[in-house]
Structure 1
């Protein structure tokens, strides 16, 4: 009985240490339709959670209709919480660049307008520097300039509940939208076998 109690105590202590070992950090990316960005990052090892939302603008608690109509200064974004013990920001931002059309300043794929343009909303000065370094490393490897904006911070506003995990809630509609929009085909044209697509 004593051995069983000691083993249980050791297991509990080990779990506590494992929880403390997690170095949870945040990253915010604008990559066009947030349904797709959320789906892409949920597949990345080390990502703990994703939340679709809006960032960069001046309107507090914006709605989807306000953001896509324009004039709010917000983009569709995804807040990514990740375990930095498993994946670093350098690898995360590298994956982000290779999952979008970094050469398009006016939107993404079939979605047009500022709210769908790409950006990295850096949460720290270190993230800002890393995003620039990764951009400068990747740019010479593609045709065209990387126009993805690097933005210093900003308030993140979660999107409406029906947008969260849309690709899981509505898999047929999501797959039809993603295919019709030409997202994966365009990313593959830019990045070739380095493209991150689903």
Structure 2
């Protein structure tokens, strides 16, 4: 009888397990945002992609050339029992420059702007609260919009986990693995230096 009761308890526990949830953020170069959030406990995966525009099934070339309305963005899958949506929002704001309307760091243009894409009223409320908190913390206008989520198109395979890739490419520093090239790009772009200057000790990531 005890074994039977325990069996039902285990089944009940499995049935009540929290389902993974997703968050969609645009924070400039999606390689960097992906690298940052894949380091967060409770995040099970991050996918780079395009969203917010009108063109169906866009390519990197389409988006980078402009005119599609799409942002470079990431879709974060997370366990809400380990990390909450408000916590992810706080990390997001503290990993970007939300005062910059023209892009992020050395990457300029509409596709590199910041944005939060929400799928329901609860996410919108949390995002607006996080935006207000960021405004108060920085005492500056926050230009990051809170937008309704639409179709999210996964970027090409070569963009996924770029910061981990070992394949060689030619850079101005000579042949480097993609992972090494990514680190050189991130430093040269000034991402971490600017975030540190803006947020100080509250900066969320440094050189992921």
Which stretches in structure 1 are left out of the alignment for 5+ residues? 1-5
Q: 1:176 to 1:21 in 2, by over 3 A?
A: same
How far is 1:144 from its partner? 2.1
How far is 1:125 from its partner? 1.6
Task: Say yes or no: does 1:39 pair with 2:35.
Answer: yes
CA contact (8 A) 1:28 1:123 kept: no
**Residue of structure 1 equivalent to 2:169:** none
**Residue of structure 1 equivalent to 2:202:** 194
* CA-based RMSD: 1.9
Aligned equivalents of 2:12 and 2:158: distance in 1? 34
Residues 123-138 of structure 1: pairs in structure 2 closer than 5 A: 123-138=119-134
Q: Which has the higher helix share?
A: 1
Task: Say yes or no: does 1:28 pair with 2:36.
Answer: no
Instruction: Output one character per residue of 1:133-175: Cα deviation in whole Å (capped at 9) or x when no partner.
Output: 1111221221421111110111100000000000011210110
Task: Say yes or no: does 1:111 pair with 2:107.
Answer: yes
Q: 2:191 aligns with which of 183, 187, 193?
A: 183
How far is 1:196 from its partner? 1.4
Residues 1-198 of structure 1: pairs in structure 2 closer than 5 A: 17=13, 21-169=17-165, 170-198=178-206
Give 3-state SS (helix, strand or coil) of 2:192's partner.
Answer: helix
Aligned equivalents of 1:86 and 1:173: distance in 2? 32
How far is 1:197 from its partner? 2.1
Q: 1:16 to 1:41 in 2, by over 3 A?
A: farther
Q: How does the TM-score come out when normalised to structure 2?
A: 0.86
How far is 1:20 from its partner? 5.3
Moved more, 52-61 or 14-23: 14-23
CA contact (8 A) 1:23 1:85 kept: no
How many positions carry a matched residue from both structures?
A: 190
CA contact (8 A) 1:98 1:191 kept: yes
How far is 1:18 from its partner? 5.5
Q: How does the TM-score come out when normalised to structure 1?
A: 0.90
How far is 1:17 from its partner? 4.0
